[in-house]
Structure 1
Amino acid sequence: MNEVILLTGPPLNGRDEYITEALKLADEESYAYYHVFDYIREVGKELGVKITRKNVLDFAISHQDLMNEIRDEAFNRIRKEIDKSDRKFHLVSTPSLFRWGSGSVIGFTTSNLKLLRPNRVIIVLDDVLSVRRRIINDPEWFERFGENPENIKLTTLVMWREDAINHVKTLIHELKKEGIEVRYILQFGIRHPYEVFLDLIFREEEKPLVYLSYPMTGHEEEYYQRVRGFYNKLSEHFTVLDPGALDDWWVVAEYDAQVNADPSIKRIRIKHLLDGEEVEELDREDIEQATDILRRQLVERDFNLVDVSKAIAVYHYAEGVSAGVISEMAEAYRTLAAIYLYYPFDRRPSPFMEFYGMQNPSRRTMFKDEDEMIRVMVEEKEYWAKV
């Protein structure tokens, strides 16, 4: 049976670059990959229209009817190729929705998705400062922003993300009203290792989805090394979704720290999370506006990852109560996911954490040994209630 997976998201989030690198590690006989823009260029050429990466936005906004016709034909051709293919997995990649100036470019419509009939939708995302850096390092895009970093506002980037996600949700809701079921929409951060992406795409039946929950801020490096080590061990058996693979929270945390230290500060200096070297100076007002949206997006994204997961593994190598972790455990309980809690301390945890952490299938217990918890999860996965 063919499975169609729509890979989408906001522009300049590194979707195609990430997917291309990940698929280099995959068995080419098991999948087919369709980059919608390649088909749009092909159809446009046949109609006497030269569509390039540089002119596609302006063309789509100024010639909407023709662009819609070209896009619809691109999806028709992809559907025909899928129908003829003997591959099991069909990956279709295209942006979701992009507003630019006074217009917008729609990556797909309800009609396109009714034709495509995706089984799953994966929204591929990157953190906002990486998106900003990507724009600065891309001559064509940097030119669109007047070759001035000050014109690239974080507020703009978080709204690109907001628009893209909402467009997907709206159209999938329309599909459901038509009786077309999409198994899930998943917001996937591109800091996940490539192997995790491949597990997600190709090996979900053997390695079911598990969400890793852990207190994320205010800890020493040794703590994060332990979390990474646990993540690697857990990933041998499951497809592990990590909220840290899309980390905008450090922008918020750095903003809070600098404003608390100097309430009159106008420019916020932020080291880039990945290299720890490059420093960007951002306008305080822009960060304030973006922060309100980022905080909400963070909660919605983490709940999305919990909602699609069959189980949640809580790695609580910290005695202090984490409101985020308890909220994620409550969401897992609400959505029938199995809950496993690693809490290696003699001191009793919060009664709420204790209640949710004793909901794994076979016995009501928390774990003080992380390897034992993984072993039990492997043994019990056949008994998890969530379909």
Structure 2
Amino acid sequence: MKEVILLTGPPLNGRDEYITEALKLAEGGSHVYYHVFDYIREVGKELGVKITRKNVLDFAISHQDLMNEIRDEAFNRIRNEIDESDKKYHLVSTPSLFRWGSGSVLGFTTSNLKLLRPNRVVVVLDDVLSVRRRIINDPEWFERFGKDPENIKLTTLVMWREDAINHVKTLVHELKKEGLEVRYVLQFGIRHPHEVFLNLIFRENEKPLIYLSYPMTGHEEEYYHRVRDFYDKLNEHFTVLDPGALDDWWVVAEYDNQVAKDPSIRRIKIKHLLDGEEVEELDREDIEQATDILRRQLVERDFNLVDVSKAIAVYHYAEEVSAGVISEMAEAYRTLAAIYLYYPFERRPSPFMEFYGMQNPSRRTMFKDKDEMIRAMVEEKDYWAKA
């Protein structure tokens, strides 16, 4: 049976670069990858219109009807190729929605999705400082911002994300009203290893989706090494969704630290998360405005990952109860996902954590040994993965 997977998201989040690199590792040749912009260029050329990466936004805003016609024909051609294909997986990549200046550009409409009939939608996301850096390093986009980093506001970038996700949610809701069921919409951070993406796309039956929940802030470096080791062990058996694969929280945390030290500070210095060296100075007011949106997006994103997962594995290597972890466990309980809790301390946790942490199929226990917990998850996988 053919499966169509829509890969989308806000612009400049590294979607196509990440997917292209991941697919180089794919085995078996059971997939086809459709980049919608390639089809738009092809259709435009046939109509005597030269559409390039540089002019596409201006063209789409100033020639909306013609752009809609070109985009619709691009989706028609992709649908025809899918129908004629003998492959199982059909990956279709295009931005969701993009606001620029006084206008907006839709990556797809309800009618496009009714034609495409996606089984799953994956919204591919990157953290806002990486998006900002990507703009600075892209001559065409940097020119759009006047070649001035000060013009690239974090508030703008978080609103790009907000618009893109909301557009997807709205259109998927419309599809459901038409009787076309999308299995899930998943917000996927590109800091996940490529192998996790391949498991998500191609091996979901063998490696069901699980969510890794853990206290994320205020710990020593050794703690995060422990979390990473646990994540790698889980990944041998499951497709593990990690909230740390989209990490904007460190921007908020650094802002809080510097303001606490100097309440009058106007410029916030932030080391980039990935290289730990390059320092960016950001306007305090911009971070404050972006933070309000980021905090809400963080909660919504984590709940989204819990909601699509069949189980959550809680790695609570901390005696103090994390409000975020408890909330994720409560959400998993609400969605009837299996919950496995690793809590290796003699001191009992809160009764709420204990209650949620014992909602696994057979053992009804918290685990003091993380390897024992993984063995239990594997042994009981057939039970909860089919729930």
TM range (shorter): over 0.9
Q: Is the 8 A contact 1:7 1:122 kept in 2?
A: yes
* Counterpart position of 2:337: 337
Q: Which runs of 4+ in 1 moved over 4 A?
A: none
Deviation, structure 1 residue 28: 5.4
Distance 1:386 1:354, change over 3 A: farther
Q: Is the 8 A contact 2:345 2:368 kept in 1?
A: yes
Deviation, structure 1 residue 27: 2.1
Q: Is the 8 A contact 2:135 2:142 kept in 1?
A: yes
| Partners of 1:39 and 1:214 in 2: CA distance | 42
* Counterpart position of 1:244: 244
CA offsets per residue over residues 190-212 of structure 1, 9 Å max, x none? Answer: 00000000000000000000000
* Counterpart position of 1:100: 100
Deviation, structure 1 residue 336: 0.3
Identity of counterpart residues, as a percentage?
90
CA offsets per residue over residues 87-132 of structure 1, 9 Å max, x none? Answer: 0000000000000000001000000000000000000000000000
Deviation, structure 1 residue 278: 0.3
Deviation, structure 1 residue 62: 0.2
User: What are the ranges of 5 or more consecutive residues in structure 2 without an aligned counterpart?
Assistant: none
Q: Is the 8 A contact 1:4 1:116 kept in 2?
A: yes
Deviation, structure 1 residue 71: 0.1
The SS at the match of 2:268 is strand
CA offsets per residue over residues 229-248 of structure 1, 9 Å max, x none? Answer: 00000000000000000000
Deviation, structure 1 residue 386: 6.0
| Partners of 1:187 and 1:194 in 2: CA distance | 15
- TM-align CA RMSD: 0.7
Deviation, structure 1 residue 382: 1.2
| Partners of 1:315 and 1:30 in 2: CA distance | 35
Q: Is the 8 A contact 1:336 1:385 kept in 2?
A: no
Identify the range of structure 1 (362-371 vs 300-309) with the bigger mean alpha-carbon deviation.
362-371
The SS at the match of 2:29 is helix
* Counterpart position of 1:41: 41
| Partners of 1:245 and 1:85 in 2: CA distance | 33
| Partners of 1:265 and 1:293 in 2: CA distance | 21
Identify the range of structure 1 (190-199 vs 342-351) with the bigger mean alpha-carbon deviation.
342-351
Deviation, structure 1 residue 384: 1.1
| Partners of 1:169 and 1:358 in 2: CA distance | 33
CA offsets per residue over residues 223-273 of structure 1, 9 Å max, x none? Answer: 000000000000000000000000000000001111111111100000000
Deviation, structure 1 residue 350: 1.1
User: What are the ranges of 5 or more consecutive residues in structure 1 without an aligned counterpart?
Assistant: none
Deviation, structure 1 residue 154: 0.1
Q: Is the 8 A contact 1:118 1:182 kept in 2?
A: yes
Q: Is the 8 A contact 2:208 2:385 kept in 1?
A: no
| Partners of 1:354 and 1:265 in 2: CA distance | 43
| Partners of 1:318 and 1:252 in 2: CA distance | 22
| Partners of 2:268 and 2:170 in 1: CA distance | 36
Deviation, structure 1 residue 381: 1.2
Q: Is the 8 A contact 2:321 2:350 kept in 1?
A: yes
Identify the range of structure 1 (348-357 vs 187-196) with the bigger mean alpha-carbon deviation.
348-357
Q: Is the 8 A contact 2:215 2:316 kept in 1?
A: yes
Q: Is the 8 A contact 2:209 2:240 kept in 1?
A: yes
| Partners of 1:200 and 1:75 in 2: CA distance | 24
What is the TM-score when the length of structure 1 is the normalising length?
0.99
Q: Is the 8 A contact 2:44 2:70 kept in 1?
A: yes
Q: Is the 8 A contact 1:337 1:386 kept in 2?
A: no
Equivalent residues, number: 387
CA offsets per residue over residues 300-334 of structure 1, 9 Å max, x none? Answer: 00000000000000000111110000000000000
What is the TM-score when the length of structure 2 is the normalising length?
0.99
| Partners of 1:232 and 1:280 in 2: CA distance | 31
Deviation, structure 1 residue 385: 6.9
Distance 1:151 1:217, change over 3 A: same
The SS at the match of 1:28 is coil
* Counterpart position of 2:130: 130
The SS at the match of 1:185 is strand
* Counterpart position of 2:220: 220
Deviation, structure 1 residue 72: 0.1
| Partners of 1:327 and 1:173 in 2: CA distance | 25
The SS at the match of 1:121 is strand
Q: Is the 8 A contact 1:336 1:386 kept in 2?
A: no
| Partners of 2:306 and 2:386 in 1: CA distance | 12
The SS at the match of 2:12 is coil
| Partners of 2:148 and 2:174 in 1: CA distance | 40
| Partners of 1:113 and 1:359 in 2: CA distance | 37
